[in-house]
Structure 1
């Protein structure tokens, strides 16, 4: 009660009552409408915010301070950071406009500055310089931490860049003008997540303008920093992908199991969740996915949400070096260093390691006699390295400690430690809120892996790199990801059986959500589609476009109707015939064959167009369609036909390579996805390749010497054999190319059109018997080849028996 009364007085004195109530209104709207919402940052330190359901974190048990959010000794306004499911952010924005009025709700304007790359293009266009020249110059400009190097830096450090600039008077003039215009305002845009809400029209408080694209609700002509000075409050609606994954997983659990999940009522000590985390199998778990993070988790073995909170705060340059100390104390191998016994309650939660900004504040209060408000000002000065303020504060801190009876020598040691840690001290409220989301995702994955992975795949479809990681995790979990089928797939990814996730039609690119919803609705009301003619006939009422039909065929949804190239051949004529028929009906023309003897309409059977005898779609084309339209491969993998060649070259997978020790030499057989070239300070060109095989993705570094050897053949989308060294620096692994050679698929590829099972010396006799039994029991039209490796050579045989390529067969392919 004392804490709440204290907070309420400050909130009231500073006149932020309305601000709290408006934020509460937003949060409650989200919760009442099934939108997953979270609060991030120092706002989680408010007990009042927790009591009125703005935040999910109880600040007293988490040891979060109100002063870190709203300091009575500081003039800056409070700032609640609202995280919401990214796919449903617009719903909250619409609600805000409807409730408070469009004139009182505006986005916040920002100004984009002209950087070197864009300046070269803009100035070059005005000077009439050829586009190929300015484009080449712009691409050479290096980007460091999101900012372009200036033109003088590029001239000095890149000989090729300098040569082009000095090649003519016009290009020299280009450089002179770029120097002058770089950094000036080029245009306006809107803040990624900030809006303002005012009691009267916004125009009464600051000038407004149309949105950057000329539509929308409008935006302020003031930038965010200026908004605060005129007394307006900013509200952040940040769309977070992981919250959308959580929301979709909860919806799928409800649909599949009829279980309601209340995130607020989860057991915070759930054993199954922490077993998952300690195992390091954290793909999809918020903030805990990286390789380095997983190694840290395995070292620390988190058992509480406080442990997760520490990991999130400590896994950064600086505090990372103290993780070993934290782990040693946790395991009883080392005594914690509290310096003073009075600091044990403050530092015990992090095993004596000063980690959070809140700890710095509490130490200043206990030892130096500061108020928490003054301690927050001290913390800010330390964090921003304001030496003049810190020099003034040190005597005050030491004197306060002396008056409270603390040893001066040990207090000096404590002060030095505080300065050291304040440089990278983390906001615990922020870390705790992210730890909560990490726990939610871990809980859902541990208890409902099918629904969770379906939601995760759905959220990652626009990121091919992420999809491969998700698919590998599904394989580890024994989950089959099934291709989209026009008569089985729903709009979203759905659960099939005990271990299947069916790809949703809504995940197919370029088709359109309205059409997909219509397909699902039509199928539900009138039954499965019988063939392509039936599909086009029934979907014509929804104004489906010919291109959408072709995309559905190309993505494999209609394989049950025929081979893809055959369907694509007849699709245009079917579409035009049915379109013409519908047009005739619309203008009142009557087909005499559709009338009965008494003149009434008779429903005719849909004409079935015979499939033409055309060449089958090449495998590479099917794979390209699947990658472009679905974001993943279903039919096979582009490297499948090279497996025999890879075995002869002792190729290992990308995943295996990244598990090798430092300086290990590895041979990889991969596809090249991207090539990025950069210029070193010495003016030499090097490159980074993004590579992929069935096990995952990685980047390969090509240093200048090796780059010169391979630069003329570097292309994207072709298989390559790479000899690389594993490099380990700062606990992170990378691959450095020593040699590279593209593979001639015509020479080394295996054109066997079927399923290949590979029996290796590592397979047991019992496993081989089980495979034989499965092949005998399966029936289908896909050829089977067995390749037996005895340790030194391969022998292969094509069986007379044919089997079906289905999810069960894919399970056996994982083993063999």
Structure 2
């Protein structure tokens, strides 16, 4: 059988538009029995290719186009084509690809690196190789080329010179002659970069995306049809009959492909043996750890009835050891032990692993599965024998420590992170194609803005967008001459892989070099990265462990650290009571801002309605508040509050569903019903659960028959059993993993406990974790203030880089000031630690290094309020900034003598607006505070005090405006407004909107009257809106009427230009000039010029000099006659 030797897929990133499935399907349709995939340098797609080809009854052939520096042209890389025809050849492909992809960026792959890695490989020197190019130019260096090449690389398993009928007759003749003279077999070589001639343009666009270039002459280019496509097999075979050399080359290709005998070995994960020095086997060591852990857990919990625990532990250990998973548990235990030994805050567990008592005893989880009613079989089914999956949550700021530990423990060759691929989703592909077509960033954004947001973060495709008759994409594209071509090209490229990155969680561990199983490449921080994504990694039998960086754990860890003065040095968050009344009260009040999983308004509203009074209801909330089961929330609440009776069913079923008021909420309940009602083992019940959740028809049919049979044997009627099965089936699709719900609810509860008992520590940790989110930060601060936490603004004397606790208050960090350079903050804090507090604005400016004496830096600090302590209003600081910076350049004495001009402060709105620009929100106040008298008199309500179904009046600053059209075509608006206590959505109907459309702008303040209602959240239906001006509010500060003392100064005559040479030091010259300025002050501006550096400095009027007749002589005496110029005004 024949195969084109060099077929490239989209996994040669941005080089080909062909997906693996398209390649296989097209090859099949065009008469091929085999396909040789040859990516450039990498093997990203090999597992998918192998499975797809085998599924379509095609022979998969593994090749590699390896870029290697030449023998003659040492600094240039040329392609070598390597094809694996034996299993050891495939292993050598892995070694060579890994070697190439782990080189440093500037390190070349040399021919010598191929030595010892060519067994089982056919090496084809294609017409594109160095030799092929030398032959085509009749270069004399071809004479000894093969001899010298083989000295370097050794003898390949098979060795060919590639030839193709697509080459010119002259090229074919030259290749055939050289092959004959050197006894080198010719082989049919066909390059396939795309599948169809019309795909040529798409390939050019992809490569332009990769190169960052713009294509010109789009019209002609789009009609080009290249030669590197997949030709019909019969047609291709015929083309090789044109000469005897071509015919032999074709036969050699067939012989090579026929000889290929390579298979991938899909197998169960081969676990590394956990290394320990006790002398015990892994199984016995696991037993000893688990039994010791059980004793410790029971003692700490004060549990007297130990027998159920002992029996459960023995049963779980038996299953784990029999299935060969002892080492897996030990490896995970070792990771969590590292966390404990290094004070790394971990969670209660994740996923179904919380159902394992062994995991609890080893400290892998912190959930007692017997107390929580969790099932081991949901985690590890002894009849399924699948690899257990214990995911680990880790603080996201300390994940690097764990990676370093695993790397050191298992070794460079045996540890790797996992690759993942970013794709050309709709927005990205429009952006990329738009750029290649010459659109600027603004035009690209206009196109990407037409793609709607999908539900729950799902990305919407181009086809889905275009299917909407009201889509904005087609009109936006049609404005361009080439718009149709742009959209057509984007659709062809959509969802192709664009780039690779590191998987957020997955790592691979092995007790032998990973390259014995799969190819690797250089990853981040010196670690290896697999060339295969997580699915194929597991299919090839390697152990993958997910360690997910979780911000919540960072918040919890930092919060506990800050809370030690309140909670005690020996406080242990893992020993808190999950029935703590203060914490439950927070949940009951829906005050869960900043609490993991419970932040959304809808979730908070559900908590309030449920009247949370025990931990089990928190767990149920996490399971219910999701798409699907959310339809049962109303029923759950009514039954919980006694407003609706829980229907009676079979007593066995009623008992199992009692905790969720007759509603099937958890997957474990499905299993428990099957066990108790139909006599299933829990392992069989897990199969039933899986079948129901996946809705596989044949499995469902078998499951139902087994369920009915078991129910009848247990004495239940056929009719009742069928009704119960249908009921379970209806809810099972939405059932949630209770183990995960309990574990994550414990984590959420831990955070809420901190919020209830140490709010200052909680908000400090929370705000530092969300430093980039201004809207969230403002919400947290508003809530903190309502709960009695004092919030202090940034201050150059008191602030650290982050939020910090200061004398029982929360102090904003300088790092929250947008645009303020991090090195400046470091330098400032360092200077402060050396010289102490800055007493005056002058001493502060003087303490700054020259590089930070900039208007931008001081302006940011001023607008943020970080310089308020010096006794000047913010407008005065801005007004005098230039003078201060200029004076600082003249030295300490000049700066100390600098007088500050007094000016009125900014108006309230302007001051707060500037503050918001640098902080992202208002900290020192809110525009609505200007109307405090109205709040005090009860004329208006604070937003935080609003409840549903009330007629109210509020003041609100507009944060967002969304205008829509009604079905009648009338415009109306949805506003988001805030006051100093919170935010609320406001609905403005068409008549009101029509009257106020020009006024409803972001940043304006209105008095809004209307009625509150509860839908998705609390909102206000406005019936009256009146714009108000906070600067004229009932508590507006009266601005002082100040006049400049300099208003009566004499008129300026001209400008002094002073040239400062290096004959004297700059400090000496400036000091002398300053003395003259004090002696001869005047209205004439001064410009300093340094010829050596060509630096020029214009001094403010405060540093003006008297006129020519008065001061010319002293200046010339000081600086030299040629260095003083007075330019008279015209």
Structure 2 CA distance for partners of 1:721 and 1:476, relative to 1, 3 Å? closer
Distance 1:130 1:325, change over 3 A: closer
Counterparts in 2 of 1:84-95, with a 5 A limit? Answer: 84-95=394-405
**CA deviations over 1:749-775 (Å, ceiling 9, x no partner):** 6793269xxxxxxxxxxxxxxxxxxxx
Bigger RCO (CA 8 Å, 6+ sep): 1
For 1:574 and 1:19, how far apart are their aligned partners in 2? 66
Q: Please list the CA deviations of residues 291-336 of structure 1 after superposition, one character each: whole Å capped at 9, or x if unmatched.
A: 4333433343333322221222123344345456555665667765
> Does residue 32 of the first structure (1) align with residue 341 of the second (2)?
yes
Q: Which residue of 2 aligns with 1:177?
A: 489
RMSD over equivalenced CA pairs, Å: 4.1
Residue 613 (structure 1) aligned with residue 901 (structure 2): yes
Is 1:636 aligned to residue 925 of structure 2?
yes
Aligned partner of 1:752 in structure 2 is 1036
- State yes or no: 1:390 paired with 2:682: no
Alpha carbons 1:157, 1:682 under 8 Å: kept: no
- Give SS of 1:227's match: helix
Runs of 5+ consecutive residues of structure 1 not aligned to the other structure: 582-603, 756-816
Q: CA deviation at 1:403?
A: 1.2
Determine if contact 1:506/1:516 at 8 Å carries over to the other structure: yes
Aligned to 1:419: 729
Size of the alignment, in residue pairs? Answer: 724
TM-score, with length taken from structure 2: 0.57
SS of corresponding position for 1:367: helix
User: Per-residue deviation at 1:462?
Assistant: 2.6
Distance 1:453 1:356 in 2: 33
Q: Aligned to 1:148, which of 441, 452, 460?
A: 460
CA distance, structure 2, for counterparts of residue 674 and residue 99 of structure 1: 53
Which residue of structure 2 lines up, in the alignment, with residue 660 of structure 1? Answer: 948
Match of 1:206 among 518, 523, 528: 518
1:692 is aligned to 978
1:673 pairs with 2:969:
no
Structure 1 counterpart SS, 2:482: helix
Deviation at 1:566, TM superposition (A): 4.7
- Conserved? CA contact 2:880–2:901, under 8 Å: no
Taking the aligned partners of 1:754 and 1:47, their CA distance within structure 2 comes to: 70
CA contact (8 A) 1:142 1:149 kept: no
Question: In the superposition, relative to structure 1, how do residues 405 and 754 fare at CA in structure 2: closer, same or farther (>3 Å)?
Answer: farther
Task: Summarize the Cα distance change of 1:149–1:241 in structure 2 as closer, same or farther, 3 Å threshold.
Answer: same
Q: Distance in 1 between matches of 2:403 and 2:971?
A: 47
Which string of whole-angstrom CA distances, capped at 9 and with x for unpartnered residues, describes residues 271-301 of structure 1? 3333343344333333334443334333433
Q: CA deviation at 1:37?
A: 1.0
Paired residues of 2:964 and 2:971 also in contact (CA < 8 A)? yes
Q: How far is 1:399 from its partner?
A: 0.4
Separation of aligned partners in 1, 2:1003 and 2:996: 16
Match of 1:433, SS?
A: helix
Structure 1 position 41, deviation (Å): 1.1
Offset at 1:427?
A: 0.5
The partner residue of 1:60 within 370, 373, 376 is 370
Kept in 2: contact 1:358–1:427 (CA 8 A): yes
Residue aligning to 1:627: 916
Summarize deviations over 1:619-643 as a string: whole Å, max 9, x none. Answer: 4454244334444423221344467
How many angstroms apart in 2 are the aligned matches of 1:531 and 1:523? Answer: 13
Q: Cα 1:11–1:579, aligned 2, differ >3 Å: closer, same or farther?
A: farther
Equivalent residue number for residue 592 of structure 2: 282
Deviation at 1:477, TM superposition (A): 2.0
Structure 2 equivalent of residue 786 of structure 1: none
In structure 2, C-alpha distance between the alignment counterparts of 1:81 and 1:677, rounded to whole Å: 44
* Cα distance change of structure 1 residues 396 and 623 upon mapping to structure 2, 3 Å threshold: same
| Structure 2 CA distance for partners of 1:270 and 1:713, relative to 1, 3 Å | closer
Q: Quick one: which of 719, 740, 748 aligns to 1:430?
A: 740
TM-score (structure 1 length as normaliser): 0.77
Q: d(CA) in 1 for partners of 2:688 and 2:475?
A: 52
Match of residue 115 from structure 1:
425
Cα distance in 1 between the residues matched to 2:591 and 2:650:
39
Structure 2 residue ranges without an equivalent (≥5): 1-309, 1040-1130
Greater CA radius of gyration, 1 or 2? 2
Residue 285 of structure 1 contacts residue 442 of structure 1 at CA under 8 Å; is this kept in 2?
yes
Counterpart contact for 1:142–1:678, Cα < 8 Å? no
Instruction: Give 2:321's aligned residue.
Output: 12
Distance in structure 2 (CA, Å) of the matches to 1:368 and 1:754: 81
Matches within 5 A, 1:323-334: 323=633, 326=636
Go from structure 1 to structure 2 and tell me whether the alpha carbon gap of 1:60 and 1:548 turns closer, same or farther (over 3 Å shift).
Answer: farther
Is 1:251 the counterpart of 2:597 in the alignment? no
Which of 713, 717, 720 is the matching residue for 1:407? 717
Of 859, 869, 885 in structure 2, the residue corresponding to residue 560 of structure 1 is: 869
Alpha-carbon distance change, 623 to 309 in structure 1, aligned in 2, over 3 angstroms: same
Cα 1:19–1:318 shift into 2, 3 Å: same
Aligned partners of 1:703, 1:376: CA distance in 2, in Å? 53
**What is the Cα deviation at residue 679 of structure 1?**
9.2
| Structure 1 position 56, deviation (Å) | 0.6
Q: C-alpha distance in 1, partners of 2:482/2:526?
A: 41
Alignment of 1:354-369 (within 5 A): 354-369=664-679
Aligned partner of 2:79 in structure 1 is none
Q: Is the 8 A contact 2:1010 2:1024 kept in 1?
A: yes
Distance in 2 (CA, whole Å) between partners of 1:78 and 1:682 is 58
How far has the Cα of 1:422 moved from its partner?
A: 0.4
Deviation at 1:42, TM superposition (A): 0.9
From 143, 147, 157, give the equivalent of 2:469. 157
Deviation at 1:70, TM superposition (A): 2.2
Summarize the Cα distance change of 1:257–1:554 in structure 2 as closer, same or farther, 3 Å threshold. farther
Q: Could you tell me how far apart the structure 1 residues matched to 2:474 and 2:847 are?
A: 63
